[in-house]
Structure 1
């Protein structure tokens, strides 16, 4: 991890109901914070994880107003490209999961948040990180919202990161799968995100397992979770797939689609 930095907060913007800050913490992982003017004690913050474009500020801004109306903070960590290349896998090549936990520890120590758990959102590469993090730490996550992941870790015996097979990280995530299947999970994907592009991982094996484009892969993963729950005689998972009209892979388009459906599904009502 990059060298720890002393806590700092740079005031950047203010809007009705919230304040937007950029902050670096002792953990060394910086973030954008959208803090409500009227925080609700014990309210779960939303952690919003960017894709490979590293647009952390945009993630914080997108959810800020609705979260502020609920008295909730938005935390958008920034996994800089120089150090955190590959953060999408959560545990390799560096422990992006531990960096996030340290960031939250710092923010709690500073009184920024006071809840033990959080809701977790990720978009594109951030959705890859988020669902793998939640498989490792399902006890920490309330609602899990996943937007337009390029590819997924499936609940099958394929070697990690394609599945939960093997004796390493796949086995550790498999141990958390029953609790993971009990989470409130939302998957969003643009209706036009149905063509592979240069950022789409391709190959004979992954295409056969998941499909060739993000829309097909999202549908396949949701179906696989439902099948995994049924195979374990678990209650049907609380998982919803929402296809966003007139949107492709651009985050801003997806956030605006359907009168802000992505934001509504991610934050829900006050919680």
Structure 2
């Protein structure tokens, strides 16, 4: 949407900064965090038209705009708002980079921060997003499947990309490798009936076999019994995650991208196809592809 000569300053601002790829916006609920959006022109031109929302969560490098921009075409042609949050390194002054991956960091609940962003994005365009789609790769893949356990009632579909560590639906291990004390940590249990209603996609590169960054030695401050139990590398761990979900009755679409290492861009075509199939109700049978 281009500004026009007769536009008011408010309309010019909306055209330049709140249409298409937007500026970066501080989260009102907690300004330590921010988000950027892709807003299709139809959000302003056709306010009566229904919009979907897709949230795309960055990995450890925090390439926030890359995730938004990757989905911009999808958003335009599917009448879908894209929200890409930014969870910076060291928000508590300690250079911690992995807090958002595990949902809890000190007094921060990252799932609640994201839900606040979703509400604020809806308020911005006078919409309400009761349910939305969620994607994350690497560190974002950590976030995505753990958010799924906490809020299946808010999700339409999720795509989990190559997480370095996974939380199995295993009640013999504590959080985060398992869920034995899940209710104690979060004050709520997992709604397995709701979980089974969600369309779940997983993706990983066939060559994503490096393990140096995701192996937890016993002297690591992040080590907990079971930390390495899901497998050696991201392929192994995603396979274990799929198995534990399928054992609970969750249907999973699992794409292994040939020739692709640990690279979001390499798995993105599979992710985009999954969400397109979700919106057009054309999903093939679940399973490994």
**TM-score normalised per structure 1:** 0.82
Q: 1:168 aligns with which of 181, 184, 197?
A: 184
Q: Give unpaired runs (5+ residues) of structure 2.
A: 1-12, 219-224, 281-289
Q: Tell me which moved more, 128-137 or 33-42.
A: 33-42
Separation in 2, partners of 1:73, 1:200? 36
Any idea what SS the aligned residue of 2:39 has? strand
Change (3 A) 1:141 1:202: farther
Q: Would you say 1:265 and 2:274 are equivalent positions? A: yes
The 8 Å contact of residues 101 and 140 in structure 2, kept in 1 or not, is answered as yes
Aligned to 1:78: 86
Q: For 2:188, what is the secondary structure of its paired residue?
A: helix
**Is the CA contact 2:231–2:237 (under 8 Å) kept in the aligned structure 1?**
yes
**1:190-209 paired onto structure 2 within 5 Å:** 190-201=205-216, 205-207=226-228, 209=229
Once residues 10 and 50 of structure 1 are traced to their aligned partners in structure 2, the CA distance between those partners, rounded to angstroms, is 26
**2:26: which partner in 1?**
24
RMSD over aligned Cα, in angstroms?
Answer: 2.5
Compute the displacement of 1:269 (Å): 5.4
1: CA distance, partners of 2:14 / 2:63:
18
The equivalent of 1:130 in structure 2 is: 144
Which residue number in structure 2 is paired with residue 36 of structure 1? Answer: 40
**2:66 is aligned with 1:45:** no
The alpha-carbon distance between structure 1 residues 13 and 219, as it changes in their structure 2 partners (threshold 3 A), is same
Is there any run of 5+ residues in structure 1 with no aligned partner, and where? 1-7, 230-236
Shift of 1:181: 2.8
Contact 2:206 2:235 in 1 (8 A): yes
CA contact (8 A) 2:25 2:35 kept: yes
3-state SS of paired residue (1:210): coil
Residue 252 (structure 1) shift: 2.2
Cα offset for 1:140? 0.2
SS of residue paired to 1:154: coil
Q: Which has the larger radius of gyration?
A: 2
Change (3 A) 1:23 1:11: farther
Q: Deviations over 1:42-84 (max 9, x none)?
A: 3320001111110111000011101210000100000011217
